[in-house]
Amino acid sequence: MQEEEKIYSISLLNNLINRKITSHDEFRHVKIQGEITNLNRRYASGHLYFSLKDKRSEISCVMFKHARRNLKFKPENGMDVIIEGDVSFYKPRGNLQITVKNMEEAGLGELYVAYEELKEKLLKEGLFDLKKPLPKFPKKIGVLTSASGKAIKDIVGNIEKRWPAEILIWNTTVQGANSTVSITQNLALANESDVDLIILGRGGGSAQDLWDFNKEEVVRAVANSKKPIITAIGHSTDKTLSDLASDKVAATPTKAAEIAVPNKMEIHEKLRNFEIRLNDLMNSKLDNLTHRYNNSRNNNYLKNPLLKYKSKHETLNLLKSNADKSINQLITSNQMLLDGFRSSYLLNNPDYILDKKVTKLSLFKDNLSKNIKNLLVSCENKLNLQNKSLKSVNLMESFEIKRNNLDLVRNNLDNIMDNKLSSSVNNLMIFKNNHVLTNSCQLLDGKYEQVNEINKSLQNNINRTIENYENKLAILEEKLAVLNPEKLVEKGYVVKDPEVMRKSKIKSIIILIFLVIVIILMILLILK
C-alpha cells in the first residue's frame, strides 16, 4: 500500500520555512550592500519599510523604531548602504525580509547618480519648463499603456463614465528590454493622429520597473510632444523624469482620467443651474418690462405729450417773469449805487481835490507876483517923485517918511505872506483830516510832478523878479549918488548910506523868497 502524499496547509508551510531560516546561524548577523528603493516613512509606528536592490534582484527590509534611533543619517531612495541584520520570514504574508539592526551609508547608488546627472542636464536645457495647456473638453484621447495591465481598465473606465470622448489605445510595453522603443514609437504615432490629448501611464512598481521612464530618449519624446501629455507612472510616491517633462502629472491612472476629461454630471448640473438662473433673470426682466409698460400706459404725459410741454411752458414763463423782475431790480439798485458812488467820487476824488488846490496855489502865485510888481512900481514911482522934489523938500524928513513907508510896506507884505501861508496850511490840514485818499501813492504821483513844475516856475519868476529889483536898485543908487551928501551934512541932515538901504531891500526880498519856499515844501510834505 502506497503511502499517502502529505498535503501542507499554508500556515504549516510558512512555519516550516520560518524554522529552517531561524535555525541556521548563517542567516543571522548578515551584512548586505545594496541600493535603497521603495522607502516609505508614512507609518505612524515610526518603523522604516524599504527594499534593498542591486542590478539583478532586490529584497524587502524592515527597520524597527528602536533600531532606527541609532541612525546617523537620513535614508533616501537611491542611497547605497550597508545593512546588518537577521534574515526573517513574515509568516502572515509569506514574505522573506531582513530585520535591519544597523545601517551605514556606502554612497549613492549608480541608478540614482545617473538619474541626477540626466535631470541636471535636462534642467539646464530648459526641457522641463515648456508646458502645453490641456483641452477642457477633449473629443478624442490617446492612451499609451499595456493593454493587459490594470491601468488601461482604470483609465478607460473612468473616461467613459465621466465624458463621452473617443478613446484610441496604443498597446505599449512599459517594462522590459523593448519598453523604451515601444514608448517612443507609440508617442510618435499618437502625435501624428488627430487625438486632442495623450495619457501615458502604467501601474505601480519598483524603481527598476519604472526606470525606462527615466531614460533620455523617453523623456525627450514626452517633452517634444506636439499634443499635451498627462503622465500617470507608478504611484504618488514615484517621481520619474518623464513626469517632470509632461504637461500634467497624475498620482494614479484613475486620477489621470479625472484630469483629462470633465465630469459630465457636473457639467449637466452647471448647465442646469445656468438654465435656472437664465430663466429667473429673463422672468425678472420680463416682469420689470411689464411693470414699466403698465406704468407707461397710465402715465398722463404719455397719453397727452402736450400736457407735459404745457406744464414746462408755464414754468418757463414764470421763471422768465421772475428773472426779468430780479434783473430790473438789480439794475435799479446798481444804478442807485453807481449814482451815489459818482457823487461821493466827485467830492472825495483826489484828482478833483488836488486840482482845486493846484488852482488855488497858481492863483496865489499870480497874485503874489502882481503884488510884488505893483509894490515895486509904486516904490519906484514914489522914489522918482521924491527925487524930483528932493531939493525943495527937507531931506531928513523926506527920508524918514520914506523909511517909515518902506517899513510899513514891508510889514504889510509880511502880514499878507503870513496870512496866505496860514490859510494854505489850514486848508491843507482840513483836507488831510476830513478826506481819506484811496490808493494815494498811485494818485499823487502825477500831482507830485505838477507841483514840482509849479515850484520850478515860481522859482524862475522869483529869480527874474530879484534880478529886476537889483537892476532898479542900482539905478536908484546912481540917482542918489548925484546928490551931494557932504552938503547935506553941513546943513545938519543925516543921509543914510545907499549900500545899507540896498542890502535892507535885498534882505526883505530874500525873506520873502524863503517864506514862499517854506510854503511849497509844507504843501509837498502834506501831499505825501
CATH class of 129-262: alpha beta
Q: Is 63 helix (H, G, I), strand (E, B) or coil?
A: strand
What was the pLDDT predicted at 492?
A: 52
What was the pLDDT predicted at 437?
A: 42
Arch. (CATH architecture) of 10-106: Beta Barrel (2.40)
Regions in the chain scoring below 50 on pLDDT: 1, 392-393, 395, 435-444, 484, 486-489, 493-495
Please tell me if the domain spanning 10-106 has the same topology as the one spanning 129-262: no
Q: Where are the domains of the chain?
A: 10-106, 129-262, 270-321, 493-527
Write the burial class of residue 324 (CB in 10 Å: 0-12 exposed, 13-18 middle, 19+ buried): exposed
CA angle 87–90–93, rounded 5-degree value: 145
Q: Distance between CA atoms of 327 and 335, rounded to whole angstroms?
A: 12
By the 8 A CB rule, do 410 and 508 touch? Answer: yes
What was the pLDDT predicted at 63?
A: 92
Give the predicted TM-score (pTM) of the model. Answer: 0.43
| Residues in CB range of 390: below 8 A, 6 or more apart | 398, 483
| Closest C-alpha among 159, 161, 154 to residue 195 | 159
Q: Distance between CA atoms of 65 and 45, rounded to whole angstroms?
A: 7
What was the pLDDT predicted at 237?
A: 65
Q: pLDDT digits over 178-225, tens only?
A: 899 999 999 999 999 999 999 999 987 767 778 889 999 999 999 999
Measured in degrees and rounded to the nearest 5, phi and psi for residue 298 equal -90, 0
Q: Is 67 helix (H, G, I), strand (E, B) or coil?
A: helix
Q: Distance between CA atoms of 305 and 315, rounded to whole angstroms?
A: 16
What was the pLDDT predicted at 248?
A: 95
What the block records as the C-alpha cell of 356 is 482845486
What was the pLDDT predicted at 430?
A: 61
Strands (E), 74-226: 79-90, 95-108, 140-145, 166-171, 197-202
What was the pLDDT predicted at 426?
A: 66
Tell me which residue has cell 517632470.
244
